[in-house]
Amino acid sequence: MSILVLGGRGKTSSRVSRLLAQANIPFIVASRTVSDKVPYHQSQFDWNDKTTYPKLFADAKAKTGKPVSAVYLVASMDPNTPEQLKDFIDLAVKENVKRIVLLSASTIEKGGPVMGQGHEYLVKLHEEIGLEYTVLRPTWFQENFSAAYHTPTIRNEGKFYSAMQDGTVPLISVEDIAAVAFRTLTDPRPHNTEYLLLGPTKLTYDEVAKILSDVSGKPITHVKLTQEEQTRRWIAAGLSEEFAAGLAGMEAGAVASGREGQLTSDAVLKVTGRPPKGFYEFALENRHVWA
């Protein structure tokens, strides 16, 4: 049996692929572009082109020699529609997939928008036909500072922007998310649950700025924006109006309100057997990015 990894060369998927390769488990990566530099089986896939969905399963069988038994389901950054997720899950079930691990978010409850709809659908299929599932609900990623949207402004302006105000976030490393994804995809026993995935330290973004300044030796500041200002920044960065408003709304609604800082979970330790990485350790490992 093989594993289908959506989310291509993205932050968690690239690490899930590495763990599968290290464990010699057959898998294929679904990516918008197939690259010679990727040392794994790949298949071209775009959430916005439904004709690419069935080809993934055919490619997996042709390239790994085995049918897909489990899927790591990652929605694109500018979000999918709930219908796209549901269509994909239906196709996976038709293709005899036994297990789906969905990457959602701490801010999205079962039945909530997009991934929340996918979450609800997986639970329904688990109850009706015994589909095995896990839903991963991580908080904001540490790597947003080293390999995503905060990186260019830190490098170019010595600043990063949010609508989080003085709320705290238990930032998590994508290494820990990938480790939980790997276990829930490959454990003989299905988990059939949701996991809230949190890092060990709750920090305000002013405290994050102080840590990044200390480890890089450069002054880095957190610029506090209103929800409306942050929405306009996301739109200027190329996100759709709806998604931009959703992201800024999560920063203001979940973090600035204090809710995210009240979350607790020992899921990373429970599933992987090791504690999640702290932000200071992450910052030390990545200080070359900001120095």
Ligand X SMILES: NC(=O)c1ccc[n+]([C@@H]2O[C@H](COP(=O)([O-])OP(=O)(O)OC[C@H]3O[C@@H](n4cnc5c(N)ncnc54)[C@H](OP(=O)(O)O)[C@@H]3O)[C@@H](O)[C@H]2O)c1
Give the binding site for ligand X (CB under 6 A): 7-13, 31-32, 45-48, 74-77, 103, 105, 138, 140-141, 144, 148
Q: CA–CA separation, 47 vs 116, rounded Å?
A: 17
Q: Which is nearer to ligand X, 27 or 140 (CB)?
A: 140
Share in percent of the chain as helix, strand, coil (round to 5): 45, 15, 35
Q: Which is nearer to ligand X, 11 or 277 (CB)?
A: 11
CB of 128 to ligand X, least distance (A): 25
Q: Which is nearer to ligand X, 77 or 130 (CB)?
A: 77
Strands 203-204 and 27-31 turn out to be unpaired
Within a 10 A sphere around the Cβ of 129, how many other Cβ atoms?
Answer: 8
Q: CA–CA separation, 100 vs 90, rounded Å?
A: 11
CB of 254 to ligand X, least distance (A): 11
Q: Which is nearer to ligand X, 116 or 138 (CB)?
A: 138
Q: CA–CA separation, 246 vs 250, rounded Å?
A: 6
CB of 77 to ligand X, least distance (A): 5
Which helix (H) or strand (E) segment holds residue 241: the answer is: helix 241-250
Picking from 52, 53, 67, 91, the residue whose alpha carbon sits closest to that of residue 3 is 67
Q: Which is nearer to ligand X, 127 or 173 (CB)?
A: 173
Q: What are phi and psi of 102, to 5 degrees?
A: -100, 130
CB of 74 to ligand X, least distance (A): 5
CB of 42 to ligand X, least distance (A): 9
